[in-house]
Structure 1
Amino acid sequence: MGDKDKFGATLRRRATITAAKGESKQLNGTNATSVSNSSGKAKRKIQESFTTDSLNEHGKQKNASYDKMRCHKMQESMLSSASGFRNYRGILNWCVVMLVLNNARLFLENLLRYGILVDPIQVVSLFLKDPYSWPAACLVIVSNLFIIVALYTERKLAMGSFGEKYGLLIHSINLSVILCFPVITVLKLPSITPAGGLFALGVYTVLFLKLYSYKDVNRWCRERRHTKARSLCRSLSCPSGQSSENGGQTHVSYPGNLSLRDMYYFIFAPTLCYELNFPRSERIRIGFLLRRLFEMLLLTQLLVGLTQQWMVPIIRSSMKPFKDMDLSRIIERLLRLALPNHLIWLIFFYWFFHSSMNFVAELLRFGDREFYRDWWNSETVTYFWQNWNIPVHKWCLRHFYKPMLRKGVSKWVGQSAVFFASAFFHEYLVSVPLRMFRLWAFMGMMAQLPLAWFVGRYLRGNYGNAAVWLSLIIGQPIAVLMYVHDYYVNNYQDEPLEVEAL
C-alpha cells in the first residue's frame, strides 16, 4: 500500500513537471512569435520610411528639375506704377546726355552761321553812353537821402516829438517819392540807358520794400511798449529783454535799434523783412566766400556770352516775321527762343539767389540763408510763386497778405491783391527803363491767377509740375519778344531788318 502510494505520487510529480515544461515551451513559443512579429513590423516601418524618403527625394529632384523649366511668376511691368520701381537715374543721365549733345549741335550751328559775337566791352555800353557820366549810379547814391529820412522819422516817433499820424504822413510821402523820383529821372534824362535804368529802379524797388518793413516793425514795437501787451508779439521783431550778450551776439531792444549802423546793416542784408535781431553766424567762412565769388564771376561771363551769342541773333531774326505777321514763323522763332531764354533764366536764378545772396550773407554773417525752396518740384502755380523767391514771399506774407486778412478780407481777394502788386512792380521794372508802356508784363502776371486756378483744380502730381515748367519755358519768351518788337518799332523802325538765312 505504501509502495503504491509512493509510485502514484511519483507519477503525479512527473506529470506536473511535464505539464510545466509544456507550458513553458508554449510560452517560449508565444514570446518568440511576438518578438518575431514585432521585429517584422519594425522592418516594415523601416522599409516604409526608406521608401517615403526615397519618394520625397525623388519628388524634390523632380520639383527642382521642374523649377528649372519655370520662368514666369506674378509681377508687374517695371514702368507700371503698380510695380513700385522708382530708380530712373539712368533715364535722367540719358536726358542730360541728350541735352548736352543737342545744345552742342546748336552751339556749333550758331558759330558757323554768325561767327563769334561775344563782346564783353559792349556790355559796358548797355549801362553807360558816356564813360564820364554815370547817371544811374548817381541816382543810386541819391537814394541814401530817403534812408536818412526814414531813420530820422523813427527817432522822432520814439522820442514822442510828433504823433503817429504825422509820422505816418512823412513815411507815406517818403515811400511815394522813392517810387516816383526814379521814374521821372529815367524818363526825363536821355543819358540813362535801359540797362542802367533797370538797375536803378531795381535798387529803388528793394529800398521801398525794406523801408516799408522798417516802418511797420518799429510801429509794432511802439505799440507793444505803450500798451504793455504781451500778445502783440511778432516772431523775434520785438524782444522784451534789454541789451545782453549771448553767444557773442548783442541783442538790442527798441529804441536801441534806431542807429545808423543798424539801419545800413538792414539795407545791405539779403532780406526785405526787418528785425531788431537777425540770426548771425559765428564767423566768415573764407572758403565758402571764395567759392561763391568764383561762381559769380564765372556765371556773369556765361550769361553775357549766351545772351550775345545765342539770344540776340534769334531776337533780331524774329522782327521780320512780327512785321509781316507771319504766324507760323513767329511760333517757330518763339520755340527757338524758348530754350536759350530758359537756360539763361536758370543760370541767373543760381547766380542771384544762391551765389550772390550767399556771398553778401557770408560777408555780413547773416544767418538766414533760405533764399529759395524746392520750386522745381512745384505741382501748382501758387506753390512756385511761394517758393522761388523767399525774401519777396516773406515780405508779401508779413506786410501785405496777413494785414489784409486781419482786416476781414477773404483769402482769394488777398491772393489776387498780392498778384496785382507783383504785376505792378514787374511792369514798373520793365516799362520805365524801356520808356514805353505796353502792359505785357502786367498781363502776364495777372494771367497767373486763372492759370493757378486751372492747374490746381484739374492737374495733379507730375501733370501739374509739367504745366508749371511749360508756363515758365513758353511764357517768358512771349513777353521778351513782345517788348523787343515794340522797342524796335519805337526806336529802330527805319533801319533795315536782318533776314536770317534758313
Structure 2
Amino acid sequence: MALRQTGDLSRVYPASRPMTAGIGSSAPRDPGNNCHKTQESLLSSASGYKNYRGVLNWCVVMLVLSNARLFLENLLRYGVLVDPIQVVSLFLNDPYSWPAACLVIVSNVFILVALYTERQLSKGSLSELVGLLVHCINMAVLLTFPAAVVLLVPSVTSVGGLFVLGTYTIVLLKLYSYKDVNFWCRELSTMKAKKLSRSLSCKSHIRERKVCYPGNLTLRDMYYFIFAPTLCYELNFPRSPKIRMSFLLRRLFEMVRKYLIIFFSFCQWMIPIIQSSMKPLEVNLNLSFQVPNHLLWLMFFYWFFHSSLNFTAELLRFGDRQFYKDWWNSESVTYFWQNWNIPVHKWCLRHFYKPLLRRGFSKMFSQSAVFFLSAFFHEYLVSVPLRMFRLWAFMGMMAQLPLAWFVGRFLRGNYGNAAVWISIIIGQPFAVLMYVHDYYVIHYRQEGE
C-alpha cells in the first residue's frame, strides 16, 4: 500500500541517472558536450566582426573632451567673439546695395536663353550648328560675366562673390547637361525611336505620366531642374510619393543648428588662429589650425550634402537621395573623389569622362582632364572672390593625380585609408593658410608699414 501511495521509486530516480550528493548538484553532463569551438577573436580581421559603434562613440567622447580644454582656454583668452552683425557684413558692404543678390537674379536670363534655344531647335527654326553656337556663347558669358562683376565692383564682398560664382557654376553645369540631353532626344527622334533610352528617362516610384521630348521644354520643367539637387538632366526624374513633413522639419532643424555651430566655431575658434597667422612671410602650420579647419569641413559636409540637399529633395519630392557614398572608407584617392560628391561625379562621368572615351582618348588622359576641369573651378571659386590669383587650389587639385597613383600603387587597405585622411587633414589647411598669408601680404602689410 505504501508503494502504491508513493509510487515506484525507480521511475523517479532511474538507475541510469543516480542521485548525487551535495546541495545544488545535478546529474553529470555528457563529456562530449564541449564548451569550446574553433573561433577567432573579435578584433581579428578573420572574425568578420564589424559592429564598432561603441568604439565610434568612444572616439566622439574623446574628441569632445580633448577639445573642451581648448574651448575654455579660447573663451578665457578672447572672450565671446561671436557677433551676429558679422553675418550681414560678410555678404554686404553697403546695406542699401545688394550686388550679389542682383547677380543671382540676373542668372535667370541665361536660363531663359537656353530654354528658348532648345524650343527653337525642337521646331527646326535653328540648325544644330547655330543652336550649338548660341549655347556656347550663352555658357561662355555665364562663366565670365559674374567673374568680371566680382572683380570690378568693390561692393561685392568675398563671401558674396563666392556665393554668386558658386550659383553661376551650378547653373552652368546644369545648362550643359540640359543641352546634351535634349540633343540626344533629337537624335533619337531623327532615328524614329519609339521610346527614350534608359539613360534619358528612369522609372518613377509612383505612377505618373511620362514626359516625352519636346514636351519637356517648359518653364516648369526647366525650373524644377534648376532647383533640383542634381546636375544631370532627365526628362523624368524619380519622384517620391509625398512630402514627409516630419522628415522635412528634421532636416530644417539640422540645417539651422549646423549653420549656427559652424558660424560660432568659425568666429570663436578660427578667426583668432587666422589672425595669429597673419604675419609677413610667415605661415603658422600647426595642428591648432588643421584640427578646427578639418572639423568645420566635416560639419559643412553634413550640413550641405545631408541636411540641405535632403531638405531640397524632400520639398521637391526628388527621389534620388544618393548625394554621397562611404567616402570615409576610401582606400584610394580616386575612390574618395568618386564618392564624396555624387552629383558632381555623375556630371563628370556622364558629360565629360565618357564622351572623351568615346572620342578615342585613353582612360589616363580622360581622368587627368576631369581633374584639370575640377582644378580650374576650384581656383575660379577661390581666386576671383578674393581678387588674387595664386593657383594654390589649382595646384592642390592637380597634385591629386600623382598622389592617387602613389596610394594606388604602394598602399592598400588601412594604409591607403590613412593616406587619404592625412591628405584631407593636412593638405586642405595648407592651401587655406597659403591664401590667408597672401591675402594678408596684399591687403594689410602695406597698411601696417
Per the normalisation by structure 2, the TM-score is 0.88
Q: Which residue of structure 1 lines up, in the alignment, with residue 243 of structure 2? A: 284
Q: Tell me the alpha carbon deviations over residues 183-230 of structure 1, each in whole angstroms, 9 at most, x when there is no partner.
A: 111111111000100000001000000000000000000000012257
* Alpha-carbon distance in 1 for matches of 2:128, 2:160: 37
Whichever residue aligns with residue 229 of structure 2, its letter is P
Amino acid at match of 2:209: T
Work out whether residues 228 and 313 of structure 2, in 8 Å CA contact, stay in contact via their aligned partners in 1: yes
Structure 1, residues 76-110: CA drift from partner, whole Å, max 9, x if none?
Answer: 87755567666655443332222111011110111
Q: Does 1:164 align with 2:128?
A: yes
Do residues 211 (structure 1) and 163 (structure 2) align? no
1:318 paired with 2:277, answer: yes
How many Å separate the matches in 2 of 1:112 and 1:469?
32
SS at 1:112 equivalent: helix
Give the structure 2 partner of residue 385 of structure 1: 337
Give the alignment partner of residue 99 of structure 1, picking from 59, 63, 72.
63
The alpha-carbon deviation at position 324 of structure 1 amounts to 5.1
Does the Cα contact within 8 Å between 2:244 and 2:314 map onto a contact in 1?
A: yes
Structure 2 counterparts to residues 63-102 of structure 1, below 5 A: 81=45, 88-102=52-66
Distance 1:231 1:447 in 2: 44
* CA apart distance, 1:376: 0.7
- Aligned pairs for 1:39-438 (under 5 A) are 81=45, 88-228=52-192, 233-237=197-201, 247-320=206-279, 323=280, 325=282, 330-332=284-286, 335-438=287-390
Q: Does 1:486 align with 2:411?
A: no
Partner residue, 2:416: 464
| Alpha carbons 2:270, 2:289 under 8 Å: kept | yes
**Deviation per CA, 1:117-175, whole angstroms, max 9, x where unpaired?**
11121111010001111000000101110011001100110000121000000000000
Q: How many pairs were matched up? A: 422
Give the Cα separation in 2 of the matches to 1:387 and 1:287: 28
Contact 2:181–2:200, Cα closer than 8 Å, also in 1: no
Cα deviation, residue 250, structure 1:
2.6
CA distance in 2, matches of 1:331, 1:342: 14
- 2:229 and 2:42 map into 1 onto residues whose CA distance is 46
1:400-454, Cα deviation, whole Å (9 max, x unpaired): 0000000001001000000000000000000000000000000000000001111
Name the amino acid aligned to 2:386: L
One-letter code aligned to 1:185: V
Write the letter of the residue equivalent to 2:320: D
SS in 2 for 1:143: helix
| Structure 1 Cα separation of the partners of residues 422 and 252 of structure 2 | 32
Conserved? CA contact 1:238–1:253, under 8 Å: no
Tell me, in whole angstroms, the C-alpha distance in 2 between the residues paired with 1:76 and 1:251: 54
Query: Percent identity between the aligned chains?
Result: 74
Paired with 1:232 and 1:78, the residues of 2 have a C-alpha distance of: 51
- For 2:111 and 2:315, how far apart are their aligned partners in 1? 22
Distance in 2 between the 1:87 and 1:164 partners? 56
Distance across 2 between alignment mates of 1:120 and 1:74: 63
- Please state how far the C-alpha of 1:237 moved relative to its aligned partner: 3.5
More helix by share: 1
CA contact (8 A) 2:285 2:430 kept: no
The answer on whether the counterparts of 1:237 and 1:274 sit within 8 Å (CA) in structure 2 is: no
**1:490 Cα offset (Å):** 1.1
Determine if contact 1:77/1:83 at 8 Å carries over to the other structure.
yes
- For 1:210, give the aligned amino acid: K
Deviates more, 1:142-151 or 1:89-98: 89-98
- In structure 2, list runs of 5 or more residues that go unmatched: 1-27
SS of 2:118's equivalent? helix
Retained in 1: the 8 A contact 2:202–2:237? no
- Could you tell me how far 1:234 is from its partner in structure 2? 4.9
TM-score, scaled relative to structure 1: 0.79
Q: Is the 8 A contact 1:419 1:445 kept in 2?
A: yes
Matched residue type, 2:260 = Q
Q: Which runs of 5+ in 1 are unaligned?
A: 1-63, 240-244, 498-502
For the residue of structure 2 that corresponds to 1:310, the secondary structure is helix
Give me the whole-angstrom Cα distance separating, in 1, the residues matched to 2:207 and 2:195: 29
Distance 1:401 1:375, change over 3 A: same
Distance 1:75 1:214 in 2: 57
Structure 2 CA distance, aligned partners of 1:151 and 1:412? 35
Amino acid at match of 2:257: L
Query: Displacement, 1:73?
Result: 11
1:249 to partner: Cα distance: 2.0
Mark the CA change 1:156 to 1:471 in structure 2 (over 3 Å): closer, same or farther.
same
